[in-house]
A and B are shown apart, each in its own frame.
Chain A
Amino acid sequence: MKLAYWMYAGPAHIGTLRVASSFKNVHAIMHAPLGDDYFNVMRSMLERERDFTAATASIVDRHVLARGSQERVVDNILRKDKEEHPDLIILTPTCTSSILQEDLQNFVNRASIISDSDVIFADVDHYQVNEIQAADRTLEQVVRYYLDRCHRQEKWDQFLTDAPSVNIIGIFTLGFHNQHDCRELRRLLRDLDIQINQIIPEGGSVEELQNLPKAWFNLIPYREVGLMTAMYLNKEYGMPYISTAPMGAVDMAEWIRQIQKNVNTLALSSSSKRVDYEPYIDGQTRFVSQAAWFSRSIDCQNLTGKETVVFGDTTHAASITKILVREMGIRVSCAGTYCKHDAEWFKEQIQGFCDEILITDDHAEVGDMIAHMEPSAIFGTQMERHIGKRLDIPCGVISAPVHIQNFPLGYRPFLGYEGTNQIADLVYNSFALGMEDHLLDIFGGHDTKEIISKSLSTDIGLIWNPESRLELSKIPRFAREKVERNTEKFARQKGIETITVEVMYAAKEALNT
Protein backbone atom coordinates (compact mmCIF):
# COMPACT_ATOMS: atom_id res chain seq x y z
CA MET A 1 0.00 0.00 0.00
CA LYS A 2 1.42 3.37 -0.91
CA LEU A 3 0.24 6.95 -0.76
CA ALA A 4 -0.19 8.31 -4.29
CA TYR A 5 -1.45 11.62 -5.57
CA TRP A 6 -0.57 11.30 -9.22
CA MET A 7 0.84 8.84 -11.71
CA TYR A 8 2.69 9.11 -14.97
CA ALA A 9 1.45 5.93 -16.63
CA GLY A 10 -2.11 4.70 -16.33
CA PRO A 11 -3.42 1.23 -15.51
CA ALA A 12 -2.94 -1.67 -17.91
CA HIS A 13 -6.39 -1.73 -19.47
CA ILE A 14 -5.94 1.83 -20.78
CA GLY A 15 -3.02 0.60 -22.89
CA THR A 16 -5.08 -2.24 -24.32
CA LEU A 17 -7.99 0.08 -25.07
CA ARG A 18 -5.72 2.59 -26.79
CA VAL A 19 -4.44 -0.10 -29.14
CA ALA A 20 -7.86 -1.64 -29.70
CA SER A 21 -9.62 1.63 -30.47
CA SER A 22 -6.86 2.70 -32.86
CA PHE A 23 -7.50 -0.20 -35.20
CA LYS A 24 -10.39 0.15 -37.56
CA ASN A 25 -13.43 -1.93 -36.73
CA VAL A 26 -12.09 -3.45 -33.55
CA HIS A 27 -14.24 -3.38 -30.43
CA ALA A 28 -12.99 -3.66 -26.88
CA ILE A 29 -15.20 -4.98 -24.11
CA MET A 30 -13.99 -4.26 -20.63
CA HIS A 31 -14.86 -6.58 -17.80
CA ALA A 32 -15.29 -3.73 -15.35
CA PRO A 33 -17.56 -2.06 -12.79
CA LEU A 34 -19.66 0.99 -13.60
CA GLY A 35 -17.54 4.09 -14.16
CA ASP A 36 -14.42 2.35 -15.47
CA ASP A 37 -15.19 3.43 -19.02
CA TYR A 38 -13.50 6.74 -18.38
CA PHE A 39 -11.23 5.97 -21.33
CA ASN A 40 -14.09 6.94 -23.65
CA VAL A 41 -14.22 10.39 -22.11
CA MET A 42 -10.51 10.89 -22.57
CA ARG A 43 -10.61 9.82 -26.16
CA SER A 44 -13.66 11.88 -26.93
CA MET A 45 -12.37 14.97 -25.15
CA LEU A 46 -8.60 14.95 -25.68
CA GLU A 47 -8.53 13.63 -29.22
CA ARG A 48 -11.83 15.39 -29.94
CA GLU A 49 -12.88 12.16 -31.56
CA ARG A 50 -15.95 12.39 -33.76
CA ASP A 51 -16.86 8.74 -33.60
CA PHE A 52 -18.13 6.78 -30.68
CA THR A 53 -15.20 5.06 -29.05
CA ALA A 54 -15.44 1.36 -29.75
CA ALA A 55 -15.06 0.35 -26.14
CA THR A 56 -17.86 -0.73 -23.84
CA ALA A 57 -18.04 -2.41 -20.50
CA SER A 58 -19.52 -5.68 -19.48
CA ILE A 59 -20.58 -4.37 -16.12
CA VAL A 60 -19.40 -6.09 -12.97
CA ASP A 61 -21.93 -5.36 -10.25
CA ARG A 62 -23.06 -6.85 -6.97
CA HIS A 63 -24.73 -9.80 -8.74
CA VAL A 64 -21.57 -10.66 -10.60
CA LEU A 65 -19.73 -10.56 -7.31
CA ALA A 66 -22.14 -13.05 -5.83
CA ARG A 67 -22.65 -15.46 -8.69
CA GLY A 68 -19.96 -14.79 -11.24
CA SER A 69 -20.42 -13.22 -14.65
CA GLN A 70 -22.06 -16.39 -15.98
CA GLU A 71 -23.63 -15.67 -19.36
CA ARG A 72 -23.22 -11.94 -19.16
CA VAL A 73 -19.80 -11.56 -20.78
CA VAL A 74 -20.63 -13.97 -23.58
CA ASP A 75 -23.94 -12.21 -24.16
CA ASN A 76 -22.26 -8.83 -24.33
CA ILE A 77 -19.71 -10.11 -26.84
CA LEU A 78 -22.41 -11.63 -29.02
CA ARG A 79 -24.51 -8.50 -28.80
CA LYS A 80 -21.64 -6.33 -30.02
CA ASP A 81 -20.96 -8.85 -32.74
CA LYS A 82 -24.54 -8.60 -33.93
CA GLU A 83 -24.89 -4.83 -33.58
CA GLU A 84 -21.65 -3.59 -35.05
CA HIS A 85 -20.05 -6.52 -36.85
CA PRO A 86 -16.50 -5.75 -35.78
CA ASP A 87 -13.62 -7.75 -37.24
CA LEU A 88 -12.23 -8.34 -33.81
CA ILE A 89 -13.51 -8.11 -30.25
CA ILE A 90 -10.91 -7.81 -27.51
CA LEU A 91 -12.06 -8.78 -24.05
CA THR A 92 -10.11 -6.50 -21.72
CA PRO A 93 -9.53 -7.34 -18.08
CA THR A 94 -9.32 -4.58 -15.44
CA CYS A 95 -8.01 -4.49 -11.90
CA THR A 96 -11.38 -5.78 -10.76
CA SER A 97 -11.38 -8.81 -13.01
CA SER A 98 -7.78 -9.53 -12.05
CA ILE A 99 -8.88 -10.27 -8.51
CA LEU A 100 -12.20 -11.90 -9.34
CA GLN A 101 -10.24 -14.61 -11.15
CA GLU A 102 -13.06 -15.61 -13.39
CA ASP A 103 -12.05 -17.74 -16.33
CA LEU A 104 -12.44 -15.02 -18.93
CA GLN A 105 -10.49 -17.06 -21.48
CA ASN A 106 -13.27 -19.60 -21.27
CA PHE A 107 -15.88 -16.95 -22.10
CA VAL A 108 -13.78 -15.91 -25.07
CA ASN A 109 -13.54 -19.47 -26.30
CA ARG A 110 -17.28 -19.94 -26.03
CA ALA A 111 -18.13 -16.64 -27.67
CA SER A 112 -15.72 -17.12 -30.54
CA ILE A 113 -17.46 -20.33 -31.55
CA ILE A 114 -20.76 -18.53 -32.07
CA SER A 115 -19.75 -15.04 -33.15
CA ASP A 116 -18.76 -13.95 -36.62
CA SER A 117 -16.14 -11.64 -35.18
CA ASP A 118 -12.82 -12.91 -33.97
CA VAL A 119 -12.58 -12.76 -30.21
CA ILE A 120 -9.43 -12.61 -28.12
CA PHE A 121 -8.64 -12.06 -24.48
CA ALA A 122 -6.06 -9.36 -23.84
CA ASP A 123 -3.19 -10.96 -22.05
CA VAL A 124 -2.37 -8.18 -19.60
CA ASP A 125 -2.25 -8.29 -15.84
CA HIS A 126 -3.16 -5.14 -13.96
CA TYR A 127 -0.67 -5.82 -11.21
CA GLN A 128 2.25 -6.67 -13.48
CA VAL A 129 2.24 -4.07 -16.24
CA ASN A 130 1.28 -0.43 -16.73
CA GLU A 131 -0.49 1.34 -19.57
CA ILE A 132 2.57 1.55 -21.82
CA GLN A 133 3.67 -2.03 -21.37
CA ALA A 134 0.11 -3.26 -21.86
CA ALA A 135 -0.21 -1.35 -25.12
CA ASP A 136 3.03 -2.89 -26.35
CA ARG A 137 1.85 -6.38 -25.42
CA THR A 138 -1.62 -6.03 -26.86
CA LEU A 139 -0.28 -4.83 -30.18
CA GLU A 140 2.03 -7.80 -30.34
CA GLN A 141 -0.76 -10.13 -29.32
CA VAL A 142 -3.09 -8.93 -32.05
CA VAL A 143 -0.40 -9.13 -34.71
CA ARG A 144 0.65 -12.59 -33.58
CA TYR A 145 -2.95 -13.81 -33.55
CA TYR A 146 -3.55 -12.88 -37.18
CA LEU A 147 -0.19 -14.03 -38.48
CA ASP A 148 -0.43 -17.36 -36.67
CA ARG A 149 -3.87 -17.94 -38.06
CA CYS A 150 -2.74 -17.10 -41.54
CA HIS A 151 0.09 -19.55 -41.09
CA ARG A 152 -2.23 -22.33 -40.02
CA GLN A 153 -4.52 -21.73 -42.94
CA GLU A 154 -1.51 -21.89 -45.26
CA LYS A 155 -2.72 -18.88 -47.19
CA TRP A 156 0.79 -17.69 -46.94
CA ASP A 157 2.20 -15.12 -49.30
CA GLN A 158 5.60 -14.22 -48.00
CA PHE A 159 7.04 -12.42 -50.98
CA LEU A 160 8.44 -9.01 -50.29
CA THR A 161 7.13 -6.06 -52.22
CA ASP A 162 9.11 -5.29 -55.36
CA ALA A 163 10.04 -1.78 -54.35
CA PRO A 164 11.46 -1.04 -50.90
CA SER A 165 8.69 -0.73 -48.34
CA VAL A 166 8.25 -0.40 -44.59
CA ASN A 167 5.73 -0.83 -41.82
CA ILE A 168 5.39 1.94 -39.27
CA ILE A 169 4.53 0.37 -35.94
CA GLY A 170 3.33 2.16 -32.84
CA ILE A 171 1.30 5.17 -34.02
CA PHE A 172 -1.88 5.22 -31.95
CA THR A 173 -4.62 7.08 -30.18
CA LEU A 174 -3.85 9.43 -27.27
CA GLY A 175 -0.15 9.23 -28.18
CA PHE A 176 1.89 12.40 -27.79
CA HIS A 177 1.70 14.23 -31.16
CA ASN A 178 1.42 10.87 -32.90
CA GLN A 179 -0.82 12.04 -35.72
CA HIS A 180 1.56 14.83 -36.69
CA ASP A 181 4.59 12.56 -36.40
CA CYS A 182 2.90 10.04 -38.64
CA ARG A 183 2.28 12.62 -41.33
CA GLU A 184 5.89 13.76 -41.12
CA LEU A 185 7.16 10.19 -41.46
CA ARG A 186 4.98 9.63 -44.51
CA ARG A 187 6.46 12.70 -46.11
CA LEU A 188 10.02 11.64 -45.33
CA LEU A 189 9.51 8.17 -46.72
CA ARG A 190 8.00 9.58 -49.87
CA ASP A 191 11.09 11.75 -50.28
CA LEU A 192 13.24 8.65 -49.86
CA ASP A 193 11.10 6.81 -52.39
CA ILE A 194 10.09 4.12 -49.93
CA GLN A 195 6.57 2.75 -49.90
CA ILE A 196 4.58 2.39 -46.73
CA ASN A 197 3.23 -1.11 -46.48
CA GLN A 198 1.17 -0.62 -43.34
CA ILE A 199 0.80 1.73 -40.40
CA ILE A 200 -0.42 0.07 -37.22
CA PRO A 201 -2.40 0.28 -35.11
CA GLU A 202 -3.80 3.74 -36.04
CA GLY A 203 -6.32 3.35 -38.82
CA GLY A 204 -5.09 -0.17 -39.58
CA SER A 205 -7.34 -3.09 -40.36
CA VAL A 206 -6.75 -6.41 -38.62
CA GLU A 207 -7.71 -8.27 -41.77
CA GLU A 208 -4.62 -6.91 -43.44
CA LEU A 209 -2.16 -7.73 -40.71
CA GLN A 210 -1.23 -10.89 -42.59
CA ASN A 211 0.48 -8.70 -45.15
CA LEU A 212 2.85 -7.16 -42.61
CA PRO A 213 5.77 -9.46 -43.60
CA LYS A 214 5.68 -8.14 -47.15
CA ALA A 215 7.47 -5.01 -46.05
CA TRP A 216 11.26 -4.99 -46.28
CA PHE A 217 11.67 -3.83 -42.70
CA ASN A 218 9.89 -2.16 -39.76
CA LEU A 219 10.16 1.31 -38.30
CA ILE A 220 9.55 1.77 -34.58
CA PRO A 221 9.43 5.51 -33.96
CA TYR A 222 8.73 5.20 -30.24
CA ARG A 223 10.29 2.34 -28.39
CA GLU A 224 7.58 2.24 -25.68
CA VAL A 225 5.01 0.71 -27.96
CA GLY A 226 5.79 -1.41 -30.97
CA LEU A 227 9.14 -2.85 -30.01
CA MET A 228 7.66 -6.17 -28.91
CA THR A 229 5.87 -6.51 -32.22
CA ALA A 230 9.05 -5.67 -34.12
CA MET A 231 11.01 -8.22 -32.14
CA TYR A 232 8.40 -10.86 -32.79
CA LEU A 233 8.38 -10.13 -36.52
CA ASN A 234 12.14 -10.24 -36.51
CA LYS A 235 12.26 -13.60 -34.78
CA GLU A 236 9.52 -15.28 -36.76
CA TYR A 237 9.90 -13.68 -40.16
CA GLY A 238 13.44 -12.36 -40.09
CA MET A 239 12.25 -8.80 -40.61
CA PRO A 240 14.85 -6.22 -39.63
CA TYR A 241 13.70 -3.19 -37.67
CA ILE A 242 14.92 0.31 -36.86
CA SER A 243 14.10 1.44 -33.35
CA THR A 244 15.96 4.74 -33.45
CA ALA A 245 13.58 7.66 -32.95
CA PRO A 246 14.03 10.09 -35.85
CA MET A 247 14.02 13.07 -33.49
CA GLY A 248 16.63 15.83 -33.78
CA ALA A 249 18.99 16.45 -36.70
CA VAL A 250 21.71 14.02 -35.60
CA ASP A 251 19.38 11.10 -34.96
CA MET A 252 17.51 11.89 -38.17
CA ALA A 253 20.69 11.41 -40.15
CA GLU A 254 21.43 8.23 -38.24
CA TRP A 255 17.91 6.96 -38.88
CA ILE A 256 18.09 7.63 -42.62
CA ARG A 257 21.48 5.92 -42.82
CA GLN A 258 20.01 2.85 -41.14
CA ILE A 259 17.21 2.86 -43.66
CA GLN A 260 19.78 3.13 -46.43
CA LYS A 261 21.71 0.19 -45.05
CA ASN A 262 18.60 -1.94 -44.82
CA VAL A 263 17.40 -1.02 -48.28
CA ASN A 264 20.77 -1.73 -49.81
CA THR A 265 21.20 -5.07 -48.04
CA LEU A 266 17.86 -6.30 -49.32
CA ALA A 267 18.28 -4.67 -52.71
CA LEU A 268 21.17 -7.02 -53.38
CA SER A 269 18.80 -9.94 -53.46
CA SER A 270 16.18 -8.22 -55.57
CA SER A 271 16.25 -6.23 -58.75
CA SER A 272 16.02 -2.85 -57.06
CA LYS A 273 18.93 -0.50 -57.28
CA ARG A 274 21.13 0.65 -54.46
CA VAL A 275 20.35 3.99 -52.87
CA ASP A 276 22.48 6.84 -51.54
CA TYR A 277 20.68 9.21 -49.17
CA GLU A 278 23.69 11.31 -48.14
CA PRO A 279 22.87 14.25 -50.41
CA TYR A 280 19.31 14.20 -49.09
CA ILE A 281 20.47 14.27 -45.48
CA ASP A 282 22.85 17.10 -46.27
CA GLY A 283 20.24 19.20 -48.05
CA GLN A 284 17.57 18.66 -45.41
CA THR A 285 19.87 19.29 -42.48
CA ARG A 286 21.28 22.48 -43.92
CA PHE A 287 18.29 24.04 -45.59
CA VAL A 288 14.96 22.37 -44.88
CA SER A 289 15.44 22.06 -41.18
CA GLN A 290 16.15 25.48 -39.75
CA ALA A 291 17.37 23.96 -36.51
CA ALA A 292 21.04 23.54 -37.41
CA TRP A 293 21.34 27.11 -38.63
CA PHE A 294 19.28 28.37 -35.73
CA SER A 295 21.66 26.78 -33.24
CA ARG A 296 24.57 28.60 -34.82
CA SER A 297 22.74 31.91 -35.12
CA ILE A 298 23.56 34.63 -32.64
CA ASP A 299 20.30 34.21 -30.75
CA CYS A 300 21.28 30.83 -29.45
CA GLN A 301 24.54 32.05 -27.95
CA ASN A 302 22.49 33.13 -24.97
CA LEU A 303 21.52 29.55 -24.37
CA THR A 304 25.12 28.40 -23.92
CA GLY A 305 25.58 26.67 -20.63
CA LYS A 306 22.00 27.25 -19.44
CA GLU A 307 20.87 24.46 -17.17
CA THR A 308 17.82 22.33 -17.76
CA VAL A 309 16.08 19.29 -16.42
CA VAL A 310 14.45 16.77 -18.78
CA PHE A 311 11.82 14.24 -17.75
CA GLY A 312 9.41 12.09 -19.73
CA ASP A 313 8.97 8.73 -21.40
CA THR A 314 12.17 7.05 -22.56
CA THR A 315 11.96 8.00 -26.25
CA HIS A 316 11.23 11.67 -25.76
CA ALA A 317 13.37 12.26 -22.68
CA ALA A 318 16.42 10.61 -24.26
CA SER A 319 16.02 12.33 -27.63
CA ILE A 320 15.38 15.77 -26.16
CA THR A 321 18.37 15.40 -23.83
CA LYS A 322 20.60 14.65 -26.79
CA ILE A 323 19.16 17.50 -28.84
CA LEU A 324 19.64 20.01 -26.04
CA VAL A 325 23.23 18.99 -25.45
CA ARG A 326 24.68 18.28 -28.85
CA GLU A 327 22.47 20.38 -31.09
CA MET A 328 21.82 23.48 -28.99
CA GLY A 329 24.72 23.56 -26.54
CA ILE A 330 22.49 23.56 -23.47
CA ARG A 331 23.49 21.81 -20.30
CA VAL A 332 21.22 19.08 -18.97
CA SER A 333 21.69 18.89 -15.21
CA CYS A 334 19.40 15.94 -14.89
CA ALA A 335 17.55 13.68 -17.28
CA GLY A 336 15.00 11.17 -16.15
CA THR A 337 12.21 8.84 -17.14
CA TYR A 338 9.21 7.23 -15.49
CA CYS A 339 9.51 4.11 -17.68
CA LYS A 340 11.25 2.09 -15.00
CA HIS A 341 10.93 -1.08 -17.03
CA ASP A 342 13.21 0.33 -19.72
CA ALA A 343 15.68 2.10 -17.43
CA GLU A 344 18.77 0.27 -18.67
CA TRP A 345 18.29 1.41 -22.24
CA PHE A 346 17.65 4.96 -21.08
CA LYS A 347 20.79 5.11 -18.98
CA GLU A 348 22.85 3.78 -21.82
CA GLN A 349 21.45 6.35 -24.24
CA ILE A 350 22.07 9.46 -22.22
CA GLN A 351 25.32 8.39 -20.64
CA GLY A 352 27.65 11.37 -20.94
CA PHE A 353 24.92 13.82 -21.91
CA CYS A 354 23.79 14.80 -18.45
CA ASP A 355 25.11 15.19 -14.94
CA GLU A 356 22.52 13.04 -13.23
CA ILE A 357 20.01 10.38 -14.15
CA LEU A 358 16.68 10.00 -12.36
CA ILE A 359 14.53 6.91 -12.76
CA THR A 360 11.28 7.26 -10.83
CA ASP A 361 7.53 7.34 -11.20
CA ASP A 362 6.98 9.51 -8.13
CA HIS A 363 6.25 13.08 -9.18
CA ALA A 364 7.23 14.40 -5.76
CA GLU A 365 10.73 13.08 -6.28
CA VAL A 366 10.93 14.83 -9.64
CA GLY A 367 9.63 18.02 -8.06
CA ASP A 368 12.16 17.91 -5.26
CA MET A 369 14.93 17.32 -7.74
CA ILE A 370 13.87 20.30 -9.85
CA ALA A 371 13.56 22.50 -6.78
CA HIS A 372 17.01 21.43 -5.73
CA MET A 373 18.63 22.05 -9.12
CA GLU A 374 16.84 25.31 -9.93
CA PRO A 375 17.27 24.96 -13.71
CA SER A 376 16.47 27.84 -16.11
CA ALA A 377 13.98 25.67 -17.92
CA ILE A 378 12.32 22.28 -17.63
CA PHE A 379 11.35 19.94 -20.44
CA GLY A 380 8.88 17.39 -19.18
CA THR A 381 5.27 16.26 -18.97
CA GLN A 382 2.24 18.22 -17.80
CA MET A 383 3.27 17.42 -14.25
CA GLU A 384 6.63 19.11 -14.67
CA ARG A 385 4.83 22.07 -16.21
CA HIS A 386 2.86 22.46 -13.01
CA ILE A 387 5.95 21.97 -10.88
CA GLY A 388 7.55 24.71 -12.98
CA LYS A 389 4.59 27.00 -12.39
CA ARG A 390 4.93 26.61 -8.69
CA LEU A 391 8.67 27.24 -8.76
CA ASP A 392 8.44 29.96 -11.40
CA ILE A 393 10.52 28.02 -13.90
CA PRO A 394 9.34 27.84 -17.54
CA CYS A 395 8.56 24.41 -18.91
CA GLY A 396 8.21 22.96 -22.40
CA VAL A 397 6.00 19.87 -22.61
CA ILE A 398 7.79 17.08 -24.48
CA SER A 399 6.07 13.89 -23.44
CA ALA A 400 2.88 12.22 -22.26
CA PRO A 401 0.99 12.41 -19.93
CA VAL A 402 -0.55 15.53 -21.36
CA HIS A 403 -3.63 17.72 -21.36
CA ILE A 404 -5.90 18.80 -24.16
CA GLN A 405 -3.61 21.64 -25.20
CA ASN A 406 -1.07 19.01 -26.23
CA PHE A 407 -3.40 17.77 -28.90
CA PRO A 408 -2.98 20.79 -31.15
CA LEU A 409 -4.94 21.17 -34.35
CA GLY A 410 -2.04 22.77 -36.17
CA TYR A 411 0.84 20.74 -37.56
CA ARG A 412 3.27 20.02 -34.72
CA PRO A 413 5.41 16.96 -35.29
CA PHE A 414 8.31 16.11 -33.01
CA LEU A 415 9.84 13.70 -35.52
CA GLY A 416 11.52 14.40 -38.84
CA TYR A 417 13.03 17.61 -40.13
CA GLU A 418 9.92 19.66 -39.46
CA GLY A 419 10.07 18.20 -35.97
CA THR A 420 13.52 19.70 -35.44
CA ASN A 421 12.05 23.13 -36.22
CA GLN A 422 9.18 22.60 -33.79
CA ILE A 423 11.54 21.47 -31.04
CA ALA A 424 13.87 24.42 -31.64
CA ASP A 425 10.93 26.81 -31.26
CA LEU A 426 9.74 25.06 -28.13
CA VAL A 427 13.17 25.18 -26.53
CA TYR A 428 13.93 28.73 -27.52
CA ASN A 429 10.54 30.06 -26.42
CA SER A 430 10.81 28.39 -23.05
CA PHE A 431 14.10 30.12 -22.37
CA ALA A 432 13.24 33.46 -23.89
CA LEU A 433 10.21 33.68 -21.67
CA GLY A 434 12.26 32.74 -18.67
CA MET A 435 14.81 35.43 -19.47
CA GLU A 436 12.17 38.06 -20.02
CA ASP A 437 10.60 37.21 -16.72
CA HIS A 438 13.91 37.57 -15.01
CA LEU A 439 14.60 40.97 -16.55
CA LEU A 440 11.15 42.15 -15.60
CA ASP A 441 11.89 41.11 -12.07
CA ILE A 442 15.13 43.05 -11.98
CA PHE A 443 13.69 46.22 -13.45
CA GLY A 444 10.45 46.03 -11.54
CA GLY A 445 8.04 45.10 -14.28
CA HIS A 446 6.82 46.71 -17.45
CA ASP A 447 5.02 49.48 -15.75
CA THR A 448 4.61 50.95 -12.34
CA LYS A 449 2.01 48.89 -10.59
CA GLU A 450 -0.27 51.72 -9.38
CA ILE A 451 -3.49 50.57 -10.96
CA ILE A 452 -6.31 53.01 -10.46
CA SER A 453 -8.99 51.20 -8.54
CA LYS A 454 -12.02 50.27 -10.53
CA SER A 455 -14.15 50.19 -7.44
CA LEU A 456 -16.44 53.08 -6.70
CA SER A 457 -16.31 52.59 -3.00
CA THR A 458 -13.72 55.19 -2.08
CA ASP A 459 -15.96 58.22 -1.72
CA ILE A 460 -18.94 57.21 0.39
CA GLY A 461 -18.27 54.64 3.02
CA LEU A 462 -20.53 51.65 2.57
CA ILE A 463 -20.43 49.36 5.52
CA TRP A 464 -20.10 45.63 5.05
CA ASN A 465 -21.33 43.93 8.15
CA PRO A 466 -19.24 41.02 9.51
CA GLU A 467 -21.52 38.33 8.01
CA SER A 468 -21.44 39.79 4.52
CA ARG A 469 -17.69 40.33 4.82
CA LEU A 470 -17.33 36.66 5.66
CA GLU A 471 -19.67 35.68 2.86
CA LEU A 472 -17.65 37.76 0.43
CA SER A 473 -14.46 36.05 1.48
CA LYS A 474 -15.98 32.68 0.53
CA ILE A 475 -16.40 33.74 -3.08
CA PRO A 476 -13.51 32.54 -5.23
CA ARG A 477 -10.86 35.21 -5.55
CA PHE A 478 -11.19 35.67 -9.30
CA ALA A 479 -14.84 36.72 -8.92
CA ARG A 480 -14.69 38.49 -5.58
CA GLU A 481 -13.82 41.96 -6.74
CA LYS A 482 -16.57 41.90 -9.31
CA VAL A 483 -19.15 40.77 -6.77
CA GLU A 484 -17.98 43.45 -4.37
CA ARG A 485 -18.28 46.12 -7.01
CA ASN A 486 -21.70 44.99 -8.20
CA THR A 487 -23.05 44.74 -4.70
CA GLU A 488 -21.88 48.23 -3.80
CA LYS A 489 -23.27 49.62 -6.99
CA PHE A 490 -26.60 48.01 -6.20
CA ALA A 491 -26.53 49.25 -2.62
CA ARG A 492 -25.80 52.77 -3.75
CA GLN A 493 -28.67 52.70 -6.23
CA LYS A 494 -31.03 51.51 -3.55
CA GLY A 495 -29.66 53.91 -0.97
CA ILE A 496 -28.59 51.10 1.32
CA GLU A 497 -25.79 51.93 3.71
CA THR A 498 -25.06 48.65 5.39
CA ILE A 499 -24.39 45.67 3.20
CA THR A 500 -25.76 42.46 4.59
CA VAL A 501 -25.78 38.98 3.11
CA GLU A 502 -29.34 39.65 1.96
CA VAL A 503 -28.21 42.72 0.05
CA MET A 504 -25.47 40.71 -1.62
CA TYR A 505 -27.87 38.18 -3.03
CA ALA A 506 -30.49 40.73 -3.88
CA ALA A 507 -27.78 42.40 -5.94
CA LYS A 508 -27.03 39.15 -7.70
CA GLU A 509 -30.69 38.64 -8.53
CA ALA A 510 -31.07 42.22 -9.70
CA LEU A 511 -28.14 41.69 -11.99
CA ASN A 512 -29.85 38.72 -13.58
CA THR A 513 -32.92 40.69 -14.46
Chain B
Amino acid sequence: HYFRYDEHVSLCLEKLSSSKDKSKAMLQQKYVRCSVRAQIRHLRRVLCHRLGLPLQHVQILFDSEPLPDHMTMKQLWLSRWFGK
Protein backbone atom coordinates (compact mmCIF):
# COMPACT_ATOMS: atom_id res chain seq x y z
CA HIS B 1 0.00 0.00 0.00
CA TYR B 2 2.68 2.50 1.04
CA PHE B 3 0.21 5.11 2.17
CA ARG B 4 3.01 7.32 3.43
CA TYR B 5 3.67 8.49 -0.12
CA ASP B 6 0.05 9.42 -0.73
CA GLU B 7 -1.27 12.87 -1.12
CA HIS B 8 -2.64 14.33 2.08
CA VAL B 9 -5.79 16.05 3.13
CA SER B 10 -6.01 18.33 6.14
CA LEU B 11 -9.11 18.34 8.27
CA CYS B 12 -10.34 20.41 11.13
CA LEU B 13 -12.68 18.55 13.45
CA GLU B 14 -15.26 20.26 15.59
CA LYS B 15 -17.16 18.47 18.25
CA LEU B 16 -20.90 18.59 17.64
CA SER B 17 -22.57 18.05 20.98
CA SER B 18 -22.08 20.49 23.81
CA SER B 19 -21.37 17.91 26.49
CA LYS B 20 -17.91 18.54 27.83
CA ASP B 21 -17.07 15.06 29.04
CA LYS B 22 -14.10 13.21 27.56
CA SER B 23 -13.77 15.57 24.66
CA LYS B 24 -10.57 17.24 25.74
CA ALA B 25 -8.16 15.30 23.58
CA MET B 26 -10.14 16.05 20.48
CA LEU B 27 -10.63 19.70 21.23
CA GLN B 28 -6.97 20.17 21.99
CA GLN B 29 -5.78 18.61 18.77
CA LYS B 30 -8.48 19.17 16.24
CA TYR B 31 -6.27 19.61 13.20
CA VAL B 32 -5.75 16.31 11.45
CA ARG B 33 -3.81 15.32 8.37
CA CYS B 34 -3.93 11.95 6.67
CA SER B 35 -3.74 10.16 3.36
CA VAL B 36 -6.41 10.80 0.72
CA ARG B 37 -6.94 7.02 0.76
CA ALA B 38 -7.83 6.86 4.45
CA GLN B 39 -11.48 6.10 5.08
CA ILE B 40 -13.98 7.48 7.53
CA ARG B 41 -13.75 4.23 9.51
CA HIS B 42 -10.01 4.75 10.01
CA LEU B 43 -10.55 8.28 11.26
CA ARG B 44 -13.30 7.03 13.59
CA ARG B 45 -11.01 4.37 15.04
CA VAL B 46 -8.20 6.82 15.58
CA LEU B 47 -10.55 9.23 17.33
CA CYS B 48 -12.01 6.48 19.53
CA HIS B 49 -8.53 5.48 20.51
CA ARG B 50 -7.57 9.02 21.38
CA LEU B 51 -10.77 9.74 23.24
CA GLY B 52 -10.95 6.38 25.00
CA LEU B 53 -14.46 5.81 23.68
CA PRO B 54 -16.12 2.75 22.16
CA LEU B 55 -16.51 2.87 18.39
CA GLN B 56 -20.29 3.25 18.42
CA HIS B 57 -19.95 6.50 20.39
CA VAL B 58 -18.09 8.35 17.69
CA GLN B 59 -19.61 9.49 14.45
CA ILE B 60 -18.12 11.67 11.76
CA LEU B 61 -20.53 14.17 10.32
CA PHE B 62 -20.49 16.63 7.49
CA ASP B 63 -23.25 19.26 7.53
CA SER B 64 -24.89 17.24 10.35
CA GLU B 65 -25.10 14.22 8.09
CA PRO B 66 -23.23 11.05 9.16
CA LEU B 67 -20.60 9.99 6.66
CA PRO B 68 -20.43 6.37 5.48
CA ASP B 69 -17.60 4.29 6.96
CA HIS B 70 -16.13 3.30 3.63
CA MET B 71 -15.97 6.77 2.15
CA THR B 72 -12.37 7.82 1.52
CA MET B 73 -11.03 11.27 2.29
CA LYS B 74 -10.63 11.81 -1.43
CA GLN B 75 -14.28 10.99 -2.10
CA LEU B 76 -15.29 13.22 0.77
CA TRP B 77 -13.12 16.00 -0.52
CA LEU B 78 -14.29 15.71 -4.12
CA SER B 79 -17.96 15.50 -3.20
CA ARG B 80 -18.08 18.20 -0.51
CA TRP B 81 -15.11 20.51 -0.83
CA PHE B 82 -14.12 20.47 -4.45
CA GLY B 83 -12.78 23.86 -5.44
CA LYS B 84 -13.33 25.29 -1.98
Whether both chains belong to one complex is answered with: no
A residues lining the B interface (CB < 8 Å) = none
B residues lining the A interface (CB < 8 Å) = none
